[in-house]
A and B are shown apart, each in its own frame.
Chain A
Amino acid sequence: KQEVTQIPAALSVPEGENLVLNCSFTDSAIYNLQWFRQDPGKGLTSLLLIQSSQREQTSGRLNASLDKSSGRSTLYIAASQPGDSATYLCAVRRYGGATNKLIFGTGTLLAVQP
């Protein structure tokens, strides 16, 4: 059974710092991994999608890496801003196509202090 864990559960940093969020999964047979951002009481916004054949993806100040063999992904946020404050969720999809649902991690609550 796939389990997804995110560490730390909560993180508070001063504005301008670079930071890393971690995601680990127990079954390396994944199709892809997706990072989301969720603001309180709001929907999930897709940040980055990494296919199993890829090692990393970048979008602006965000960089996500994937190491299937070790069951790990990291989300790197450069030059953090107060507007980055949100909960960050990673989710993995197993092989088997769309019938296999996304398995979500527990989330990291990020607070960027001005």
Chain B
Amino acid sequence: EAQVTQNPRYLITVTGKKLTVTCSQNMNHEYMSWYRQDPGLGLRQIYYSMNVEVTDKGDVPEGYKVSRKEKRNFPLILESPSPNQTSLYFCASTNSMLEQYFGPGTRLTVT
């Protein structure tokens, strides 16, 4: 089944403790991206990647890092999480027709 997977789905952590949210797609898509969704603010893009080793900032990149060492994986790294990064996070991949597919989401709470 063609899909985007994310792990973990739920995460509660403390301020300053580094964490990584993994994202993987099995559709051989070159373009992947990360979004966060907050009430009243909608979906905002954090980072995107056009291909392996090619990444760029989206609208709200502060406090986040990404890497793209393999085509299928695009992890989101929070080096020192803070409470304002509490949010619902989505990974997405895009096919050649520029149709976007989203993962199931990761609900992160930083205390």
Q: Which positions in A face B, CB cutoff 8 Å?
A: 31-32, 34, 36, 41-46, 49, 51, 89, 91, 93, 97-99, 101-102, 104, 106-107
Contacts and interface: CB of A to CB of B under 8 A. Distances in A.
A44 B99 contact: no
A104 B42 contact: yes
30 contacts: A31-B98, A32-B97, A32-B99, A34-B100, A41-B88, A41-B105, A41-B107, A42-B104, A42-B105, A43-B90, A43-B103, A43-B105, A44-B90, A46-B99, A46-B100, A49-B99, A51-B97, A89-B43, A93-B98, A97-B98, A98-B30, A98-B50, A98-B98, A99-B48, A101-B33, A101-B48, A102-B43, A104-B43, A106-B42, A107-B42
A101 B105 contact: no
List of 7 A-B pairs having minimum Cβ-Cβ separation, nearest first: A98-B31, A44-B102, A43-B104, A49-B99, A104-B43, A101-B45, A43-B102
B87 to A, nearest CB: 12
